[in-house]
Amino acid sequence: MGRKKGNGPERRDRKRRDVGEERRGPAAFDRFYSELLGDRWNTLRPCLRDSGRPVALEAGLLRPYYLDDASVTAAQALGVQGGDTVLDMCAAPGGKTLVLATAAGPGGTVVANERSAARRARLIRVLDEHLPPDIRERVTVTGHDARRWGLHERERYDRVLLDAPCSSEAHVLGSQQHLDRWSPARTRQLAVQAHAMLAAAVDAVKPEGYVLYSTCAVSPLENDGVIERLLKRRSGVVAVCRAQAPWGEPTVHGWEIMPDRAEGRGPIFFALLRRAPFVKASHS
């Protein structure tokens, strides 16, 4: 009896390709976020295309730097004070670093880290063009892997900012190429990476110091989900401090500013953590 047409490896390969196509691209993107956010996705999605409300950072700078109002608010939530030692773990393009450096003043120090050479070059230009010399000389730029920071510097900084690489759905929606390549694996992988970076940030901060975790992601997996995982794995080492802003709304562990409810500001999520006194953080 002849073999039935369409069976065998070719059919299985075609089926796998069809399933793969269903799990990536614009339709999969909308389906995924509709399942995560429900009806709100219908109002949030169009706002993401035109999100961001730039304001001019001017105080203490040589020239204005334009940054989304929500990003300024997130950086200020770390509460940097004059004389603090500060680590900005993923600093490029540099807007939040300017907020931290001017707050720390001539008496403080800032380490601005960016692993990507191209983005690090842009970061250096932003710092050189905007910071007065007496503050710029107190800002050091490095190019380390943020996930491994706690292995070589532990309990050194008063305050740490982790503005983690994230899904940046607003950017995805603005790029057909990125939208066509999108799949749910993206947000899950980025959440795993962000947790590793956040654990390193906790290792790097001093006892009773503060860590601010932020993203421009909409996906809860990369926001509250990362904080939830850290709290489980570092129980007793860190605690959530309730941060808030003039715009936006609270989440389970932090605060989010989304453009559909904040007059175009955002998207930004941030959560403020405090390291417990005299507790040694274990690796995870």
How many other CB atoms are there within 10 angstroms of residue 115's CB atom? 16
Sequence-distant contacts of 96-100: CB under 8 A, at least 24 apart: 96/67, 96/71, 96/161, 96/163, 97/123, 97/126, 97/127, 97/139, 98/57, 98/61, 98/65, 98/67, 98/126, 98/127, 98/130, 98/131, 99/57, 99/67, 99/72, 99/75, 100/75, 100/159, 100/161
Closest CA to 269 of 216, 198, 197, 200: 216
Q: At 80, which amino acid appears?
A: V
Has 216 been annotated as catalytic? yes
Per the residue annotation, which of 47, 90, 166, 216 is the catalytic one? Answer: 216
Under 8 Å between Cβ of 258 and 44 = yes
Tokens of 204: 């790097």
CA 266 to chain centre: 12
Question: Residue 162: which of 108, 230, 106 has the closest Cα?
Answer: 230
Q: Which residues are catalytic?
A: 216
